[in-house]
Amino acid sequence: DGGITQSPKYLFRKEGQNVTLSCEQNLNHDAMYWYRQDPGQGLRLIYYSQIVNDFQKGDIAEGYSVSREKKESFPLTVTSAQKNPTAFYLCASSKTGYTGELFFGEGSRLTVL
C-alpha cells in the first residue's frame, strides 16, 4: 500500500542530545514537509522540500535540520539547539504543483527528559 511511514512512533531523549526522525514515502510525491503540533497551536511548518537536494525553512526552523538526498526520504534532526523539542512531529508529502492536499504520516512523539 502507498503511504508515508514515520519512525519511531515514540522517542525519548535527554537534554543536549540530537535525535533524527525518519520519514519515508512511496507515493512518488516530489514535495515533502515536516510539521510540529503543540496543544492549542495547530500544525506549524518546520521545513519543506519541493525536489531532491533542495529544501526551504518553514516558520519554525530554528533548532532543526533536514536533508533530501532521495525522493522517498526526508529525515528531520532535532538538535540540542531546539529550546522546546517535546512535541508531536508530522511528516507529509504532496504532488508538486498541486493546490494543497497533503498526505500525512502517523506522527512521531518526541519527549525530552
Partner 1 sequence: DQQVKQNSPSLSVQEGRISILNCDYTNSMFDYFLWYKKYPAEGPTFLISISSIKDKNEDGRFTVFLNKSAKHLSLHIVPSQPGDSAVYFCAASEVGEYGNKLVFGAGTILRVKS
Residue ranges in contact with partner 1 by CB under 8 A: 4, 6, 31, 33, 35, 40-45, 48, 50, 56, 58, 90, 92, 94, 96-107, 109
C-alpha cell at 38: 503543540
C-alpha cell at 99: 493546490
Least distance from partner 1 to the Cβ atom of residue 112, Å: 18
In the bound state with partner 1, the residue whose beta carbon lies nearer, of 11 and 43, is: 43
Query: Does the N-terminal peptide bond of residue 75 adopt cis geometry, omega within 30 degrees of 0?
Result: no
Least distance from partner 1 to the Cβ atom of residue 80, Å: 26
In the bound state with partner 1, the residue whose beta carbon lies nearer, of 59 and 62, is: 59
Please report, as a single letter, which amino acid is at residue 85.
Answer: P
C-alpha cell at 98: 498541486
Q: List the Cα angle 46/50/8 in 5-degree steps.
A: 50
Least distance from partner 1 to the Cβ atom of residue 65, Å: 17
